[in-house]
Amino acid sequence: MAHNNIYKLRILIFLARRNKSSASRKFLIATFFVAYFFFYSTSLSAQTLRYGLTMPYISGSAYSVKQSDPLSFTGNQAALAQLQTAGAGIYTERRFMLSENTIYCVTAAFKSSLGNFGIQGNYSGFINFNDHKVGLAYGRSLGTKLDLGVEFNYSGYSIPGYASASGLNFEVGAILHLTEKLNAGLQIYNPVGGKPGKFNYDKLASTYKFGLGYDASENFYVTTELVKEENKNINVIGSIQYHLSKEVFARAGFQSDTGSGFAGFGVGWKNLRLDLTGNYHPQLGFSPGLLLIVNFKEQP
C-alpha cells in the first residue's frame, strides 16, 4: 500500500512540475499535500501527526564533542551542553524541486553560566498547506560524563478550508560520554502523546531515538541513529563527516525508511560557514538545500 501511495504522490509532483498555469499548479500542489496527509495518516491503525521534518544533515553532529554547531541540538537537546561558540544558523531545502514544498529551519544557540540555550523555528509548505514548529531548548553538563537537555515546542499544521491544529509538547535528551571519542545518547519527542486538534484522527506521535557518535580524529566523525516513531518501522540514519582542511569539509549519509541519501559540501571563512546540500529520494527525486551558519564572536 505504501509503495503504491508513493507513486501516486510522484504522479502529482510530475503534473505540478509540467503545469505552467499558476492557479492549476497551486491546486495540484495542494492536492499533493492533502494526499500526503491522508495516505500516510489513514494507513496507520492509530493515526499520528509527523513529529517534525527529519533533517539529518543539520542534526548529525549532535553526538560529537568536536563538531558541534548551533544546529546540533535539533537532533538532541543535550548537545547544547557542548556548544563551543554561540551562533545562529538557517537551513532551507526545496523538497523534490518544488518551491511550494520548501522547508526552513532557523536556530540560535547561546552560552551562559547557568547552561546553554537554543531557539528553533521550523516551517514547511506554502499557503494552502503548511506545518510549523517553534521551540525553546536548554542543555547543560552534569559532570564530565553526562549532558542533559529539554525543549518545549509549539507546533501545528494548517490546511485552509479543511483543517488546522496546534498544540504544546516537549522533548528531552541525554548524551553520555563513554570515552573521549565515543558518545551515546537518547532523545524522546512528545513522550506523553496528546491530540492538538478537534478531529479524532489527530494525534501527536511519540518518537524515541538512540544515537552514537565517534570522533575518530579532529577531522573525521561518524554517527548513526535508530529512530522509532509511533506506529512506524525503525528508521536507521547514518552519516560521516570529513574535514579536507580547516575551512573545507564534506558530509554524506542515508536514511533507511525512504531509501534516500544526502550529502553536502561546506566552506568556512572567519565566523561564517556555507554548505551546499542535496537529498535524493529514489521515487520522488532530488532536493537541493543550503545551510548558512554564523558564529558570534566571544567577548574578551
3-state secondary structure of 206: coil
Q: And the C-alpha cell for 186?
A: 537518547
Tally of CB atoms within 10 A around 122: 21
| Sign of the torsion formed by the C-alpha atoms of 82, 154, 6 and 29 | negative
Q: What is the pLDDT of residue 43?
A: 40
pLDDT digits (tens, 9 = 90+) for 26-54: 555 555 555 554 444 434 333 444 555 55
Q: What is the pLDDT of residue 250?
A: 94
Mean pLDDT of 212-234: 93
8 Å CB contact between 276 and 67 = no
The residue type of 11 is I
Pairing verdict, β 220-229 and 87-94 = unpaired
Q: What is the pLDDT of residue 298?
A: 60
Indicate whether 184 pLDDT > 60. Answer: yes
Confidence of residue 199 (pLDDT cuts 50, 70, 90): low
Q: Where are the alpha helices (DSSP H) in the chain?
A: 2-18, 22-41, 56-59
Q: What is the pLDDT of residue 236?
A: 95
8 Å CB contact between 248 and 230 = no
Give the position of cell 570529513.
242
Mean pLDDT of 78-85: 93
Indicate whether 205 pLDDT > 70. Answer: yes
Indicate whether 101 pLDDT > 70. Answer: yes
Q: What is the pLDDT of residue 2?
A: 40
3-state secondary structure of 18: helix
Alpha-carbon span 44 to 42, nearest angstrom = 5
Q: What is the pLDDT of residue 20?
A: 52
